[in-house]
Amino acid sequence: MLQIKRICLIVLLLGLSSFSYALKSDESQPIQIEANQATADQINMVTVFSGNVVVTRGSMIVHSNTAQASQDAQGYKTIHMIGTPVTFFQLNDDGDKTEGQCNDFDYNTKNNLAILTGRARVKKGDNLVMGDKLTYNTQTQIYNATSANANGVSNTKSGRVTVILQPNQKGQNGNSSVINTK
């Protein structure tokens, strides 16, 4: 039973790691995972959740059709979520919210990469990044956006990404609603 709880915890920790602007208080909140079914392979350290998967922790809410979490022998963790689409929402310490979606979400702790593919989009405040594939390094906070076919929506346009950055409001310190695009 302890092993199952540990693997369930891995699922959420991996999902939460990609939100660097999240409410600090979310870190101390309990993790809740709901699904129609869960299967844990204790020997191989893999848990599969299927059917209307909902992961919550504080202000963070993630929805997917399926989720698979695992841990390798070195302790590195991975999560793979598939949805139509996978959606996420979280409040930030700066008062904004971060929300997004994709068809396929991968994250691993070995290289600190979150990879969103298939009609991927992330919105923080009023700023938006869209592409067929968004890659975010949670350690360096560097984003990369690529697109194979017009943001994953249409095959009629050349593959381009869209980034919409709102101007700072007068009197703000320049940090509000900024997506780090180093």
In a domain, 178, yes or no: no
Torsion sign across C-alpha atoms 177, 154, 86, 108? negative
C-alpha distances (whole Å) from 22 to each of 6, 7, 58, 93, 114 are 23, 22, 10, 6, 15
Q: Which amino acid is at 117?
A: T
Q: How confident is the model at residue 87 (pLDDT cuts 50, 70, 90)?
A: very high
Are the CB atoms for 129 and 121 separated by under 8 Å? yes
- CA pair distance 54, 175, nearest whole angstrom: 31
- CA pair distance 111, 161, nearest whole angstrom: 24
Residue 150 has pLDDT above 70, yes or no: no
Q: What is the CATH number of the domain that holds 21?
A: 2.60.450.10
C-alpha distances (whole Å) from 142 to each of 21, 74, 138 are 13, 25, 8
How does the average pLDDT of the chain come out, rounded? 78
In a domain, 96, yes or no: yes
Residue 12 has pLDDT above 70, yes or no: no
80 or 10, which is more confident: 80
In a domain, 171, yes or no: no
Residue 154 is predicted with a pLDDT of: 54
170 or 141, which is more confident: 141
Q: Which amino acid is at 144?
A: N
93: left (phi over 0), alpha (psi -120 to 50) or beta: alpha
Backbone angles phi, psi at 54, to 5 degrees: -130, 120
Q: What is the domain range of residue 88?
A: 2-164
Residue 125 has pLDDT above 60, yes or no: yes
> What is the mean predicted confidence (pLDDT) over 118-135?
91
Assigned token pair, 23: 């409410």
In a domain, 152, yes or no: yes
The total of structural domains in the chain comes to 1
In a domain, 86, yes or no: yes
- CA pair distance 125, 102, nearest whole angstrom: 18
In a domain, 26, yes or no: yes
In a domain, 179, yes or no: no
In a domain, 97, yes or no: yes
